[in-house]
Structure 1
Amino acid sequence: MKVSEVAELVGISVRTLHHYDEIGLLKPETATESGYRVYSEENLETLQQILFFKELGFTLKRIKEIIYNPSFNRMEALEQHKRLLMEKRKRIDQILATLDKTIKHSKGEITMSNKEKFKGFDFSKNPYEKEARERWGDKAVDDSNEKINKLSKDKQQALGEEFDAIYRKLASIRHESPDSDIAQEGIKEWYDYLNRIGNYSYDAFKGLGQMYVDDERFTKNIDKYGEGLAVFMRDAMAVYADKRN
């Protein structure tokens, strides 16, 4: 299907689809000789997945991180979407009930307590994102940070110095091939370090490496040690994990 046909089918603008293409969220399967974008059935399934996440309040950047995570499972996600949307419907029903009571209260038909006036409201940061992050996101990173925060200041400083040494070593060899012996020895030190403060499977380790490139915050901090280090680490971590899976 051409971009205009997809836009009409879904009810979104052509500009939106062009934007998804530009940011790497949804790239058409092919393009015609005249330059028309052509979307496949698989593209449409991905677009549906994107819109489910959008309905739950996820940002496009976060959606991209999730659906292109190596551990992402489409069927699992669909089941999760169904459950979370049912929870969202329950919350909206509660807000509608509060609204109905407020109208009656304003007309003097009933009396509402202050607590009743705010029943159903939830201003926490996306109540549905926590579960998705735990399944496809950076739970391992958060767990590691929590463990570090519980350590004494001396131990935290020692870990920080070791972290810095590993990154400096990796930066010094970042122009080597990611599958070279020296690169793999260096990345093994990083894997061992992470598993002393957290619990990373090989898949999670590979996914973390991908996050170094997908999330500009990671890239910016890592590349302070040397431009291109984030990409080198992602590739070396993928090789390390794939050889052991």
Structure 2
Amino acid sequence: MTRQIIVGNWKMNGLSRDSQELVKAITSGLPANSADVVVCPPFTQLGLLTEALKPTPVKLGAQDCHQEVSGAHTGDISAPMLADLGVSYVILGHSERRQEHGELDETVREKAMAAAKAGLTPIVCIGETEDQRETGEHFDALGWQIKGSLPDGFNGILAYEPIWAIGTGLAATTDQIAETMKFLREELVRQFGEAGKVIKILYGGSVNAGNAATILPIPEVAGALVGGASLKADAFLSIVSAASAA
């Protein structure tokens, strides 16, 4: 059985001391035969944590990258820059980026291509709104996001995060997750053929220590993209333990 992967998205949280203490607590508390673990701190902490994580099995991820290698893009960071720092993964197309920065599927697709070219594993996020879920349009929305956001030959990770569950404390029900995961796998195979059978799919959206053991064993769930709970070592380690046992 392939090991699950737990990705901690710290979002815009953590100063240097906070980040070092959190990483120390996480790395020292990992269970035996742990699931794969990735932490994605803010850009300002990447260089600092590269050294801290070197002797540990925990991998370093970033929360975004620009689609260009270099150029006049004030405030942006390219995929090669991240790779140069020792970053292994990068989250792309998170709903907060799509909503707050106007990112389109096409932009996410270009970023995923840039990340892969730089040797990073892209974690591409998709998800439906509450209105799309209530009107039964959620599968159409997800299908279009897969088609628009994932480049040909995609060999990264897909993260399903229902937008209405992010940061709200409202995780999707197990039936909703199972039904959606089944659809996503079928859609990946439809669009990518045999390669679509092995693309890992993570669930995200208010995953916490209390519901991880219920969510992670659901068929096709290969792990979780964790937000708020990744900022508390005990909660994050509980999720890692649940993934290790799934």
Q: Tell whether the structures are fold-level matches, with TM greater than 0.5.
A: no
The structure with more strand, counted as a fraction of residues: 2
Of Structure 1 and Structure 2, which has the larger fraction of its residues in helix? 1
Question: RCO (CA 8 Å, sep 6+): is it higher in 1 or 2?
Answer: 2
TM-score normalised to structure 2 length: 0.28
Given the two structures, how large is their TM-score scaled by the length of structure 1?
0.28
Larger Rg: 1
